[in-house]
Structure 1
Amino acid sequence: MKLASAILSLWVISFSAIAGPSINVGTVFDYMDGDKSTYLKRVYNGGGSTAFVRVSILEIVYKADGTSEEVPLKTQGNAAMRDGLIASPARLIIPASGTQGTRLLFKGIRDQERYFRVRFVPVVPEKEDEFALSTEETDAYKKTLSAGINVLAGYGTFFVVRPENAGFDTQINDTAQQYSVKNNGNTIMLLDEFKDCSVQNPLECEPVTKNHILPGRLFSFTKKAGRHYRFILIEGSNNKPMEVKG
């Protein structure tokens, strides 16, 4: 399953200025192993002014037909008893050229794998944003931004919470016409850095892709004469370079 195109989200609040905040969340794919319950995610601000970042989380639910939807986190009785991924803190104040981290905590049953969209959205702070700024501080910050034209861009990352009993079971079927990889395990696996290149001209290649294969799903491709396929089969911390000739 190709998820890369659906992962990175960009919100433009206004138009660009070098002096404004500019955040970077690093990788847009993160994985919490079955024996872990917390994960530290760092956010970098390479801009010239402080970034005020709001962190929000939705759960990604995959349907039988392969489609998915993002839904609010479940609660157990009241809002304080969330079942899912929680960001602490959910508000980050990141100085220019600085770094801040939020700890992602999972609360709930780990009998099956779960997926979340974690969004990091820079905002112009308002009172309701709970950044603990005084009215004077908020007004002063707005004035620094209004001096130029600014871009506030946010990113959406894909976060995997593996089950407690995570296990890999990869089945490969290699025929003359087709190559397929079936995930019979209970946790996501990857075919990373997938390259489809010409044998005669190694520089003649299709765009490199990252392919996530969810439990129970199949990834396959037709083998074409004169093509050379390379990728890295990733099962958790185990990486195996693979080559397939058409």
Structure 2
Amino acid sequence: MKALFLIVVAGLLSGVAHAGPQIDVGVMYDYLDGDKSSFLKRVFNAGDTTAFVKINVLEIVYNAEGMPEEVPVKNQPELAARNGLMASPARLIVPANGMQGTRLLFMGQRDQERYFRVRFVPVIPAKEDQFAVAEEERAGYEKTLSAGVNVLAGYGTIFFVRPTHTQFDTQVSEAASRYLMTNKGNSVVIIDEFKDCPLGKDVDCKPTTKHHVLPGKAFEFDKQSGREYRFTLIEGSTKKVLTIKG
């Protein structure tokens, strides 16, 4: 569910590549607990040039076929309020080797869990982008990047907004050759660091994976003789380490 996208800025003056801004948004999944309304997200810049970052928010909804779609966040005109997630500020100027933060604010209905895509997009600032930058500074920044080939890497993270009254209920069904975990609660549970390895050994393990189990969904795997399956079940702030043998 994470996304990485690249914007290539190619100049005609030189074929030399410049480091430019290099942003890092940390983890790709964030969670807003039911008793919270805001979340601080930090954006780091490990590059040697200032990063101008636009933050865009879309809501992830599931259609009749159960497929996710990204749609604009809707407002509530009758309440003069936003029904969803917003970033404040939505424009960041992150200095080289520095950090800035944006606060993700949720307003609206929380009777069920909601999901959002938060995109952090590095740009060359333009007048319409509403960055507080003088025209001379903007032109100088664009000229600096145009002196070579620069790759501006942006990130799309996933933001989970838990219901106000969060309830966890993970039910397990285990058979001789099958293991099933069903999320009967109303908020996402996480199967973290899932490892499928030969029994009693850490060699020849399959790649470690992470799974988000949405309400009403299930996580399952086949149990094979001579193998063991290790993972951490995360329900909000509660973590349980489990080992299942085939």
Contact 1:18 1:47 in 2 (8 A): no
Q: CA deviation at 1:40?
A: 0.3
2:1 is aligned with 1:9: no
Q: Show the 5 A alignment for 1:11-160.
A: 11-14=6-9, 17-77=17-77, 81-160=81-160
2-side partners of 1:11 and 1:237: how far apart?
Answer: 34
Q: Which residue of 2 aligns with 1:3?
A: none
Cα offsets for 1:152-197 (capped at 9, x unmatched): 0000000000000001001011110100000000000000000011
Q: CA deviation at 1:71?
A: 0.5
How many equivalent residue pairs?
A: 241
2:185 is aligned with 1:180: no
The one-letter code of the counterpart of 2:42 is: R
TM-score normalised per structure 1: 0.94
| The structure with more strand, counted as a fraction of residues | 2
Structure 1 unaligned residues grouped into runs of 5+: 1-5
Q: CA deviation at 1:137?
A: 1.1
Structure 2 unaligned residues grouped into runs of 5+: 11-15
- Indicate the larger mover: 80-89 or 32-41: 80-89
1-side partners of 2:64 and 2:29: how far apart?
Answer: 23
- Indicate the larger mover: 158-167 or 65-74: 65-74
Contact 2:6 2:151 in 1 (8 A): no
3-state secondary structure, aligned to 2:244: strand
2-side partners of 1:144 and 1:130: how far apart?
Answer: 20
Contact 1:51 1:94 in 2 (8 A): yes
Describe the shift of the 1:119–1:72 C-alpha distance in structure 2 as closer, same or farther (beyond 3 A).
same
**Percent of matched pairs sharing the same residue:** 58
Q: Which residue of 2 aligns with 1:244?
A: 244
2:201 is aligned with 1:197: no
2-side partners of 1:219 and 1:192: how far apart?
Answer: 12
Describe the shift of the 1:79–1:138 C-alpha distance in structure 2 as closer, same or farther (beyond 3 A).
farther
- Indicate the larger mover: 174-183 or 191-200: 191-200
2-side partners of 1:64 and 1:242: how far apart?
Answer: 34
3-state secondary structure, aligned to 2:176: coil
Q: CA deviation at 1:11?
A: 2.4
